[in-house]
Structure 1
Amino acid sequence: MSSQKESTARTLTVALLVCLVCSVFVAGAAVALKPTQVDNRLLDKQRSILAIAGLGDPSMSSAQVKDMFKGTISAKLVDLQSGKFSDAKDPVTFDPLKASKDPKLSSVLKGSDDIAGIKRQERFSTVYVVEKEGQVDTLILPVRGYGLWSTLYGFIAVKGDLNTVVGMGFYQHGETPGLGGEVDNPKWKGQWPGKTLFDEDGKLAVEIVKGGIDAQSPKAVHQVDGLAGATLTSKGVDNLLKFWLGQNGFGPFIANLRAGEA
């Protein structure tokens, strides 16, 4: 009986030691790989920004992305409350998504103020600017909002007139492949360049429409066809654009930048 107990105890001890050693290895690997994972996420985001701004393509190497991003695009911090540039944080290292979870750096959105479904909004955000001869040539704004199954994270790039779209796309989401996941379809993304965000009166007019665009309508220049079979994802994209380009998002900043007061 004692021999059986010894055997059982020995087996449990060995199993415990094996589990402990494996845990140490897994934890060590996770810690060691974290910087690489962070760097890869940043690289994917930079690659998306370049592609959306029409400055590169997904096939670029990591070195090409870093060199082009460093030499072409400037990160700048925007105070969403004042609608002006700010030096309160380092725009290169500041993480707006992390800040949105910090009560000291964000605020709760309720009811109709939260049409994008993000729940909390950061006070400061990082925008990306391409300048030529001291003037804004392209402005890239981060956007995010809830679709059908997930929050979509992306960017919209506009020309120096702060109205004409250069490109729009998402670098992260969890929408259904073949349906809401069609936000990644080059054909759908190809509808965005040349569209305008605001009408002649300066009112936000961009929208995603269901059932096709009437090319003869004066509104067509502001409209993009919705995703086939993905009404809720299309509505989510429409809502997130209205939020981030509106008064609660980058609307005041765009107005100040246009007036030379940002």
Structure 2
Amino acid sequence: MANNNDSFGKTLAVVIGLCLVCSLVVSTAAVALKPLQEKNKAQDTQKYILEAAGLLDKVNGDVESVYNQYIEARVVDLNSGEFDSSIEPARFNQRKAARDTASSMVPANDVASIKRRANQALVYLVKDDNGELDSVILPVHGYGLWSTMYAFLALEPDMNTVKAMVYYDFSDSGETPGLGGEVQNPKWKALWPGKKLFGEQGELKIRVTKMPTDKQHDIDALSGATLTANGVQYTLDFWLGEEGFGPFIANARKGGVL
């Protein structure tokens, strides 16, 4: 006669019990680790903002303190181009707002393929050691070859001269390493500082092109990554235009908000 302890019912009960215990352990660990994960994610974003600001050399293992010393986050109403003081920057999630139909809109000219644009956006004011405005960082994003690519565009206080273009958040990116992933290549990033966004009549002139001829406005495109380079251009076209940061930039250049 078979031992009752080897019966199918008891084996199944042990397996189910073990699964429940493991699920409880994993769930508890996930909940306990979430605050740490969120903090690490925030500090990772702060690191890229500091890179765009040219302040990474001041970081000595403490990203948060350097960020808090030099960076001031503000919320901008993209339609008016004015700061929106009714929203606390630390609590504002721009990506979440873009997914909510009540706090976003569908762009009429969605060249960057973002689908929806939040009504507000974060901008980062970078101060120098004397508390004076050193640069302004605009978060921008658009579709590349296979995925959405996110970047920080840092501008000098004239809101026309590029200080840096730093792509980040490639955790879910489908951009091909060595091709589309070249937007993170230091050599390519070094091409951006000093470029001008606009022409003498205020028209957007910055271009990502395979045949750069205008030293002031042209960025040499990524070799072998045409669609990704096009995505960078479309990102600039959208976010520097009227449905993006265009109204804010226009106000800032007139001295209205900065």
The aligned counterpart of 1:247 is 242
SS in 2 for 1:76: strand
Q: What displacement does 1:136 show?
A: 3.2
The aligned counterpart of 2:82 is 84
Q: What displacement does 1:261 show?
A: 2.2
The runs of 5 or more residues in structure 1 that have no matched partner are: none
Alpha-carbon distance between aligned partners in 1 of 2:11 and 2:106, rounded to the nearest angstrom = 53
CA contact (8 A) 1:43 1:62 kept: no
1:76-225 counterparts in 2 under 5 A?
Answer: 76-110=74-108, 113-131=109-127, 136-173=133-170, 174=173, 175-210=175-210, 212-214=211-213, 219-225=214-220
Match 2:229 to one of 220, 229, 234 = 234
Q: What displacement does 1:135 show?
A: 5.3
1:61-80 counterparts in 2 under 5 A?
Answer: 61-63=60-62, 65-80=63-78
The aligned counterpart of 1:54 is 54
Aligned-partner residue type, residue 83 of structure 1: G
SS in 1 for 2:89: coil
Aligned residues with identical type, % of pairs: 49
Q: What displacement does 1:37 show?
A: 1.2
CA contact (8 A) 2:81 2:245 kept: yes
CA contact (8 A) 2:142 2:232 kept: yes
Q: Deviations 1:48-75 (Å, cap 9, x if unpaired)?
A: 0111121215x94541x11111111111
SS in 2 for 1:100: helix
Q: Deviations 1:72-111 (Å, cap 9, x if unpaired)?
A: 111111000111111121012211111111111111235x
Q: What displacement does 1:23 show?
A: 0.5
Deviates more, 1:189-198 or 1:131-140: 131-140
Aligned-partner residue type, residue 100 of structure 1: A
SS in 1 for 2:64: helix
Alpha-carbon distance between aligned partners in 2 of 1:241 and 1:61, rounded to the nearest angstrom = 33
Q: What displacement does 1:24 show?
A: 0.6
TM-score by structure 1 length? 0.91
Alpha-carbon distance between aligned partners in 1 of 2:144 and 2:150, rounded to the nearest angstrom = 10
CA contact (8 A) 1:100 1:121 kept: yes
Aligned-partner residue type, residue 191 of structure 2: Q
TM-score by structure 2 length? 0.92
Alpha-carbon distance between aligned partners in 2 of 1:15 and 1:78, rounded to the nearest angstrom = 54
Structural RMSD (CA)? 1.9
The runs of 5 or more residues in structure 2 that have no matched partner are: none
CA contact (8 A) 2:59 2:66 kept: no
Aligned-partner residue type, residue 160 of structure 1: P
Q: Deviations 1:157-208 (Å, cap 9, x if unpaired)?
A: 0101111111001111311111100011000000000101111111111110
CA contact (8 A) 1:79 1:86 kept: yes
Aligned pair count reads: 253
Q: Deviations 1:18-57 (Å, cap 9, x if unpaired)?
A: 1001101111111111111111111111110111121215
